[in-house]
């Protein structure tokens, strides 16, 4: 009886541990306190620039991911910027302070 209780207890603890790791991982995917919201020039579109914990940018429209940066993360906090090129197109860019690294991406908003 004691052996059965110990096995059930260990099994329950493992399940709870796995569930908690899953929920923590999902909640820590993005760093939402750095979110920036941008409206298009005519106000037709609204997008959100969000980062993960390695300062990789993600662009959302209506909570739907429309762009994901596939490059490596950064060791320091990096700020990306958005410039509207037209009502349906943005430029996502990053320029390092020492001008050594410059990245630019054109994104079409549907």
Q: Is 56 among the domain residues?
A: yes
Q: Is 15 among the domain residues?
A: no
Burial class (CB in 10 A: 0-12, 13-18, 19+), 24: exposed
Question: Higher pLDDT residue, 2 or 47?
Answer: 47
Single pTM value for the model: 0.70
Mean pLDDT of the region 83-100:
88
Mean pLDDT of the region 76-96:
92
Burial class (CB in 10 A: 0-12, 13-18, 19+), 100: exposed
pLDDT at 104: 93
Q: Is 8 among the domain residues?
A: no
Overall domain count for the chain = 1
Mean pLDDT of all residues in the chain?
Answer: 86
pLDDT for residue 26 is more than 90: no
Mean pLDDT of the region 93-98:
83
């Amino acid at each position: 009886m004691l052996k059965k209780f110990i096995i059930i207890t260990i099994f329950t603890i493992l399940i709870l541990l796995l569930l908690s790791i899953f929920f923590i991982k999902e909640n820590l995917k993005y760093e939402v306190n750095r979110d920036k919201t941008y409206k298009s020039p005519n106000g037709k579109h609204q997008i959100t620039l969000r980062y993960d914990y390695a300062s990789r940018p993600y662009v959302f429209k209506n909570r739907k991911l429309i762009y994901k940066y596939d490059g490596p993360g950064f060791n320091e906090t990096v700020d990306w910027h958005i410039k509207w090129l037209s009502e349906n197109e943005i430029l996502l860019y990053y320029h390092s302070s020492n001008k050594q690294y410059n990245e630019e991406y054109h994104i079409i908003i549907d």
